[in-house]
Chains A and B, each alone.
Chain A
Amino acid sequence: MDSLSLCLRSFTVIGRGLLPIGAEVEETLKRIQGQKGVQGIIIVNSEGIPIKTTLDNASTMQYAGLLHQLVMKARSTVRDIDPQNDLTFMRVRSKKNEIMIAPDKDYFLIVIQNPSD
């Protein structure tokens, strides 16, 4: 899996620009939501406050708070070792499901998927 993660990390975005601004991201989020096994999507801002979510309030707050700290810690770790490096994404695979977190400069996107669904 290592080499696969490697190839995921080497991003092939050469440029943007197909659909109008904002709509592209909305489309992508819709597709993500529609993918097999996806239980929920949470968008959290840099302070740990969820902006957008498809789960219920209680779970959202829980996920957002806990994962925010985890991502901050992970990011801090990566950057402490080499300040020019940065965290690209994180996967936390558990028995029941998998939590995927893609951090961005000001936001992060959390998706919970049950891959065996």
Chain B
Amino acid sequence: GQLALTEAELKEEITRTLTTNNPHAPQNIVRYSFKECSYKPVLVMDQMAVHFEMEGNLVYRDLDEARRLEGLPKGSYLNIFNCHINTAFKVNMLFPTVKTKVTLAKAIPHVCFPQVTPASKADKEPKVRSQFNFSEMASQTLNNPMTEISCQTEPPQHCTFSANANQWEIYDAYVEELQKQEKNKEKQKTIQLKEDGDKSKKKMMLTETQNDDINKLGKAAKIIERMLHQNRFDDIAQDFKYFEDPSDEFRGQQGTILPLWEFHYDKIKKLSVTALCWNKKYPDLFSVGLGSWRGMLVFYSLKNSTFPEYIYPTSSSVLCLDIHEQRSYLVAVGFYDGCVAVYNLKREGQEPVYKSTAKTGKHTDPVWQVCWQNDDIENHHNFYSVSSDGRVVSWTLIKVIKDHIKRMYSCCNVYTSVVVLEAIFSYLSCGTSMDFHKQIDYLFLVGTEQGKIHKCKTYSRQYLETYAAHDMPVDTVKWNYFHPNVFISCSSDWTVKIWDHTINTPIFTFDLKAAVGDVAWAPYSSTVFAAVTTDGTVHIFDLNINKDEPLCQQAVMAKHRLTHIEFNPTHPIIIVGDIRGDVASFKLSPNLRQKQKMKKGQVQPKGPEVEVAKMEKLLRLMRGPDLE
């Protein structure tokens, strides 16, 4: 119902005001200002409200627009046949709260209505275009046919390129750049040798193109061959690395040698092994000297027992060889015809870099032993050779840089002249073996055909001492690796003797019941040595364990005459050569490699001092009763 108000409330005066504010207009509009980056209130709002809007076609006659439509100037009276109202009119109204009448008529402007004009006036008055009396007349003109003219050029050649930018690609690019820079530097340096440079470049170019295709595979082929070899001899390879004979525990002190790879090469049939030498830098590489009616120098690697790594045929038998300790690519070789030669493994070709001739003082008899020595003061390589002509000769290799004029290997080091020093030691007897002391450079031993051993110094022509060692030629004489006083000798008189060079009589003598071909000290112990005999047996002794009997006596290689034996400097392997030209490798069982047994709790001492002490103890033991 109706609101019930009291009389007082009914009489209350309520003020009403008329304002021009649109109550519906929003008062708190906020706009974001990008200038100030914040929201700003909009202060002025449009207060107009439209109540009625109508678009029509009537035009107010007095307006310019209407006159224009009729084509009449301003101000003239006209009758508009048709009219438009095309201005929207808006009614701006006051907003009453009290009802008021609004006369619409006042608000609407004058409207013109169409009037029909008499015909006489029609001629003067222009025609008015309207939608009722307007007709369009058009005519079609001939359109020219459109032709498109264009020209197409040949597109530039393009190819799709894709590449990876890996870390290593970037690295490679840098390395290449560096190499280019270095080459440029070198080119600048060798500007003087232009002529020579061109010639040598031409040589280089030729060899490069030949090498291009298949020879690049050399290294890969080698790797594959070794991989195949490893697969094929997998069990041997595993034995080599890991097998430790467990039955040694039950054998007491005896040991065995386990056969590993055998090295054959077809072309060395009928040649016998005359020398063996391990390479110290690459402990899987060893060299074999062969000879009988002709000679050969062959290098094998343990990684490939089917084919040698390097082959050098020689005209005369190789009797001895030695690999330089530091520069393991230099090999000194002594021949049956008295020559000595030096091979450089880094060089191509099968010729030695140096070979002695009659002019440069070769021996007149077979050379039985060669030994590299340390470089002399001027850093020249030198080695010694001993031969049955009774001379010990020292050879020195001097590098000479060939003249530019001669146009050979400019700036290459070529061993051209050798033998500046020739120290001749005149002996009445003929030397058959030689060894230099491991620590004292100038001290060496020479074994002779008469069975004597002479101790000498390199700078004096006299012997320091002579030992009456054997009854037959001394085949091998070797200093101990550890103890500075001890050396071993062997001979075809069936004996192996161990000496202290301060004492004239042997400390130990072993009779091996067959002519001894070679003897070698073990590099890992001062009391272990091995000997091979012509009945095809390998004997291994450890004086620390058993002073009289060998720890191992094993027949190997179908009992052919064994000629040489060598211990590998790092692995527990020995190689043995025989007269058939075959080389076999064996692994030493643990009993042969025993370290001193320590009491429980004591730390195992290491180092060469231990070995020296071991030997010293032994010597004292042997000497003991003598002194007394």
> CB within 8 Å of B: which of A35-53?
35-38, 43
B310 close to A25 (CB less than 8 A): no
Q: A-facing mask of B205-240, CB < 8 A → 1, else 0?
A: 001001100111111111111111111101001100
A104 close to B216 (CB less than 8 A): yes
B168 close to A83 (CB less than 8 A): yes
The yes or no answer to A66 lying at the interface (CB within 8 A) is no
| A45, closest chain B residue (CB) | B213
A3 close to B214 (CB less than 8 A): no
Residues of A within 8 Å of B245, CB to CB, are none
Residues of B within 8 Å of A28, CB to CB, are 218, 221-222, 225, 307
Q: A-facing mask of B282-300, CB < 8 A → 1, else 0?
A: 1011000000000000000
The yes or no answer to A105 lying at the interface (CB within 8 A) is yes
Residues of B within 8 Å of A89, CB to CB, are 223-224, 227
A8 close to B226 (CB less than 8 A): yes
Given A18-B350, A21-B211: A109 and B217 within 8 A (CB)?
yes
Least Cβ–Cβ distance between B547 and chain A, in angstroms: 36
Least Cβ–Cβ distance between B576 and chain A, in angstroms: 21
A21 close to B215 (CB less than 8 A): yes
| Interface-centre pick from B164, B168, B344 (highest chain A CB count, 10 A) | B168
Q: B-facing mask of A1-44, CB < 8 A → 1, else 0?
A: 10110011001111111100110111011011001111000010
> CB within 8 Å of A: which of B324-353?
328-329, 344-350
**Complex partner residue of B220 from A1, A91, A103, CB under 8 angstroms:** A103
B348 close to A15 (CB less than 8 A): yes
> CA A98 – CA B345 in complex, angstroms?
33
Q: B-facing mask of A80-116, CB < 8 A → 1, else 0?
A: 1001100011010000001010111111110101010
Least Cβ–Cβ distance between B169 and chain A, in angstroms: 8
> CA A43 – CA B227 in complex, angstroms?
16
Q: Which 5 pairs from chain A and chain B are nearest by CB? A: A17-B348, A79-B168, A83-B171, A15-B346, A102-B220
The yes or no answer to B309 lying at the interface (CB within 8 A) is yes
> CA A115 – CA B228 in complex, angstroms?
8
Given A8-B230, A18-B311, A80-B168: A109 and B218 within 8 A (CB)?
no
Given A12-B285, A102-B220: A21 and B228 within 8 A (CB)?
no
B303 close to A13 (CB less than 8 A): no
**Complex partner residue of B284 from A12, A24, A115, CB under 8 angstroms:** A12
| B348, closest chain A residue (CB) | A17
A79 close to B166 (CB less than 8 A): yes
> What are 27 sample pairs from A and B whose C-beta atoms fall under 8 A apart?
A7-B284, A8-B227, A11-B222, A12-B284, A12-B303, A13-B222, A13-B309, A15-B344, A15-B346, A28-B221, A29-B217, A31-B306, A31-B307, A35-B228, A35-B232, A37-B228, A76-B164, A80-B166, A91-B227, A100-B224, A102-B221, A103-B220, A104-B216, A104-B219, A106-B216, A107-B216, A111-B227
B172 close to A83 (CB less than 8 A): yes
B220 close to A108 (CB less than 8 A): yes
19 further A-B pairs in the complex, CB-CB below 8 A; given A37-B232, A76-B164, A115-B231: A17-B347, A17-B348, A17-B349, A22-B210, A22-B211, A24-B218, A29-B221, A32-B224, A32-B225, A76-B166, A79-B166, A79-B171, A83-B168, A83-B172, A102-B223, A103-B220, A105-B216, A109-B217, A109-B221
Residues of A within 8 Å of B285, CB to CB, are 12
Residues of B within 8 Å of A109, CB to CB, are 217, 220-221, 223-224
> CA A80 – CA B285 in complex, angstroms?
33
Residues of B within 8 Å of A4, CB to CB, are 230, 237-238, 241
> CA A89 – CA B312 in complex, angstroms?
29
| Interface-centre pick from A13, A26, A36, A105 (highest chain B CB count, 10 A) | A13
| Interface residue ranges, B against A (CB under 8 Å) | 164, 166-168, 170-172, 207, 210-211, 214-232, 234, 237-238, 241, 282, 284-285, 301, 303, 306-307, 309-312, 328-329, 344-350
Given A106-B216, A109-B224, A113-B231: A35 and B306 within 8 A (CB)?
yes
B228 close to A32 (CB less than 8 A): yes
Total number of A residues with any Cβ neighbor in B under 8 Å:
48
B223 close to A88 (CB less than 8 A): yes
A12 close to B346 (CB less than 8 A): no
- Majority-rule SS of B interface residues: helix
B345 close to A14 (CB less than 8 A): yes
Residues of B within 8 Å of A11, CB to CB, are 219, 222-223
B228 close to A38 (CB less than 8 A): yes
| B170, closest chain A residue (CB) | A83
Residues of B within 8 Å of A3, CB to CB, are 241
> CA A89 – CA B225 in complex, angstroms?
12
> CA A46 – CA B238 in complex, angstroms?
35
| Interface-centre pick from A25, A26, A84 (highest chain B CB count, 10 A) | A25
B210 close to A21 (CB less than 8 A): yes
Given A14-B346, A15-B348, A106-B216: A7 and B221 within 8 A (CB)?
no
> CA A1 – CA B227 in complex, angstroms?
12
A115 close to B232 (CB less than 8 A): yes
A25 close to B171 (CB less than 8 A): no
Least Cβ–Cβ distance between A85 and chain B, in angstroms: 8
B310 close to A18 (CB less than 8 A): yes
> CA A31 – CA B309 in complex, angstroms?
13
**Complex partner residue of B345 from A15, A21, A83, CB under 8 angstroms:** A15
Least Cβ–Cβ distance between B571 and chain A, in angstroms: 10
A104 close to B217 (CB less than 8 A): yes
> CA A48 – CA B176 in complex, angstroms?
24
B210 close to A7 (CB less than 8 A): no
> CA A98 – CA B211 in complex, angstroms?
30
Residues of B within 8 Å of A108, CB to CB, are 220
Residues of B within 8 Å of A15, CB to CB, are 329, 344-348
A100 close to B228 (CB less than 8 A): yes
B231 close to A83 (CB less than 8 A): no
B224 close to A25 (CB less than 8 A): no
B171 close to A84 (CB less than 8 A): yes
| A9, closest chain B residue (CB) | B223
B225 close to A8 (CB less than 8 A): no
| B311, closest chain A residue (CB) | A18
B167 close to A22 (CB less than 8 A): no
Residues of B within 8 Å of A43, CB to CB, are 217
Residues of A within 8 Å of B226, CB to CB, are 8
> CA A16 – CA B215 in complex, angstroms?
11
> CA A30 – CA B307 in complex, angstroms?
12
> CA A38 – CA B227 in complex, angstroms?
12
**Complex partner residue of B301 from A12, A16, A79, A111, CB under 8 angstroms:** A12
A79 close to B167 (CB less than 8 A): yes
**Complex partner residue of A102 from B227, B311, B346, CB under 8 angstroms:** B227
Residues of B within 8 Å of A36, CB to CB, are 232
Residues of B within 8 Å of A29, CB to CB, are 217, 221
